[in-house]
Amino acid sequence: MISIKLKLWQSIQEWVINLFRGVTKNATPSTPLDYNDLAFTLAAASEISKTLPLVLTRFQEQLNDVLVEQQRPQLFVLFSQPSSSESFLHHSQDLSPSATFIQSIHRKFTVGRAPTADVIDIGTDSNSLKIIPKRLFEHDNQIVWLLFAFHADLPNPKLLSWHSASIENTLSKGLQAWHQREDQINQAIEAERAMYAAELHDSLAQVLGYLRMKSVKLDKLCDAPEYQALQPISKDLANYTQCAYHQTRELITSSRLSMQSDNLSHGVINSIKEFEHQSAIVFDLDNRLPLNMLTPQQSMQMLYIIRESLSNIVRHSHATFARVVLLLKNSQRLEIQIEDNGIGIDPDAARTDSFGLQIMKERAERIGAELTINPGSDGGTRICLNLTIGDDV
Domains of the chain: 2-183 (3.30.450), 260-393 (3.30.565.10)
Q: Of 33, 75, 41, whose CA–CA distance to 56 is shortest?
A: 75
How far is CA 358 from each of CA 121, 331, 349, 361, rounded to the nearest angstrom? 52, 29, 12, 5
* CB distance 314 to 380 below 8 Å: no
Tell me what pLDDT residue 100 has. Answer: 84
Tell me what pLDDT residue 53 has. Answer: 93
pTM equals 0.60
Q: CA 338 from chain center: how many Å?
A: 21
Tell me what pLDDT residue 143 has. Answer: 93
Q: Of 267, 324, 253, whose CA–CA distance to 296 is shortest?
A: 267
What type of residue sits at position 326?
L
- One digit per residue, pLDDT tens: the chain, 393 residues? 444 444 444 455 554 445 444 444 444 445 788 999 999 999 999 889 899 999 999 999 999 888 888 888 999 999 998 876 778 899 988 888 888 888 888 888 888 777 888 888 887 656 778 999 999 999 988 999 999 999 877 888 888 888 899 999 999 999 999 999 988 988 887 788 778 777 777 788 888 888 888 998 998 998 888 888 888 898 888 888 888 887 787 777 766 665 444 578 888 888 898 888 888 999 999 988 765 567 777 888 888 899 889 988 998 888 999 999 998 887 678 899 999 999 887 655 555 445 677 788 888 998 899 999 988 877 889 999 999 875 443
For the chain, what's the residue count? Answer: 393
